[in-house]
Every structure is written in C-alpha cells, then in structure tokens.
Amino acid sequence: MKLSMLMLGVENVEKSVAFYRDIVGLSPKSQIGEFAFLDAGDIMLVLSSSLARQVPTRAGAMEAIFGAASVRTDHQELHARGAHFLNEPHEVSPGSWAATFRDPDGHMLTLFGPE
C-alpha cells in the first residue's frame, strides 16, 4: 500500500488554497466544488470544506511534515511569505532539524531535514 492523498478539513477552501500556494509553495492542480487538489510531491494534498463540516474539530492530532533541503533556509523563506512559526528551527535528533507552523485552520505543519 502507498499513501496517495492527505485530506484536510478546512473552513474556507479558497483561503486555504491561497495559504498553501502563496506561503507553503504547493501547486494547485484542480478544484471541484468543495475540494481543492494541490501537488505535494509524492502525494496529493486535498483541502475539503465538506470534511470540515463532518468533524467538530478541524485540527486534530495530525501533523503534516514537509521534507526540507535546509530547515533554516525554508523557515526564513516561509516566514517572509507570512507563515507564523510556533518555534525556531531546532535540532530534534543529531543532524535532523525541525520548525513548526500552522495553516489557517490550525493544522500543524512541520519542516524537517538538515539544518
């Protein structure tokens, strides 16, 4: 089995598409009604307002982790685009760094990779 899509419940699809496009840097592929599909590398990120209505709390115990060539460089770039980080880049294990921010609906997003 292989994970092909990750769907996040969002309150406002257009606002979330703008965040993932303009701040995170993902490429929108299509939008069909209450679903937007964005290219996230090996998987497709799907944003869904209908999913958000089905679940009382949108941001659950979930964290999307983005591989970074340089956590510090990507942190600076995303911060300049308007991402609000919960922490500064920090080493989480020898040679592996992380920095976490949230999307407009509170989903945790983490950059992970070398410093």
| 37-48: pLDDT as tens digits | 999 999 999 999
What DSSP designation does 3 have?
-
Which pLDDT does position 67 carry in this prediction?
95
The residue among 53 and 19 whose pLDDT is bigger is 19
Q: Is the pLDDT of residue 57 over 80?
A: no
Please name the helix (run of DSSP H) or strand (run of DSSP E) that holds residue 49, with its range, or none: helix 49-54
* Domain CATH code at residue 107: 3.10.180.10
Split into its structural domains, the chain has a count of 1
* Mean pLDDT value of segment 36-60: 86
User: What domain range includes position 36?
Assistant: 5-113
Residue 49 binned pLDDT confidence (cut-offs 50, 70, 90): very high
